[in-house]
Amino acid sequence: MPSFDLTDRVAIVTGGSQGFGKAIALALGQQGANVAVVAREPEQVTVGRERPHAPVNPVVDELKALGSRAIGITADVRDQDQVDSMVAETMAEFGRVDILVNVVGGSWGETFRSGPLMELDPHDFIECYRLNVLTAFMSSKAVQPIMKAQGKGAIVNIASGAGVSPGTGQGAYGAAKAAVINVSKSMASEWAPEIRVNSIALGGIETPHRPMWVESVQQTMTSRNAMGRLGTPDEHAGTVLWLVSDAAAFITGEAIAANGGLR
C-alpha cells in the first residue's frame, strides 16, 4: 500500500509563514520532506486593505526541530524574477524540487478590493487575478522543467469553493479561483505523466484573517455545511499531504472539494 512518507523529497510552499500555509509546511516536514518556506514582506496599501504577515524564520525553526532540513525565502511570487530566484535558491540548497504547493492567494489585498460587482472596477479584477492565478502559474511553470527532468513531481494549487459556486461579494475572487481550477487541469493534461497537478476547492477555513468576519457571516458559512463548522488548517493540510504523496499517485487534474459537506 502506498504511504504518506516523503523522506528526502523537497517541497516549496508559497505563503508558508502562517495559517494554512504554515500547517502545510509542517505537515510535509513531519512526513520527512525538506521544505522551502516562502512568504513576502508586508506592502503598502494602495487600494484595498492590509493583510496580516508573518516572517518565515519561526516556521523554519519549527521544521528543523522536527528533523527536517528547511530554508526560508522572502519573495513576492507575483514577480517573475523573484519566482525564478525562489526556485534557484531551493535548487542550490537541495538540488531538486519534488513538491510545489501554491497557497498564495486571497479575496482581497493591499492592491485590490472585494465586494459586490457594482462596487469593483477592472483594476480590482486584474489584481485579484494576478494574486491568485498568475502566482500559481508562474511558480508552477518555473518548477516544471525540473520535475520533468526528474521524472516525477506533484503540484497542488489552492483554490476555493468560490471558484465553483457564486458567493455574495466574491465575484472577482470566484472568477480568479475558477481560473486556478481550470489552469490546474490544463497543467495536469499537458505535463503528465511525470507531473501530477491538482487543486483544492476550500470551503471555509480558520485562518488568522477570520476575526474580521462578523458573526453573521460565520454562521452563514457553517450552517451551509454538514459538519457545522469551519475546517482547521491542519485538516486541510491533510488533504494536501495526501495529494502530494504516493498514496494519490493516480490522482491528477482533479479539483478536490474540501468543504465539510457543503449543502
Which residues are catalytic, by number?
A: 173
All three cell numbers of 180: 486556478
Check residue 178 and give left, alpha or beta (phi > 0: left; psi -120 to 50: alpha): alpha
User: Helix 171-191 vs helix 135-150: angle between axes, to the nearest 10 degrees?
Assistant: 20
Measured CA to CA, the distance from residue 209 to residue 214 in angstroms comes to 12
| Residue 21, number of CB atoms within 10 A of its CB | 28
Residues 128 and 115: beta-carbon distance below 8 Å: no
- Side chain identity, residue 168: T
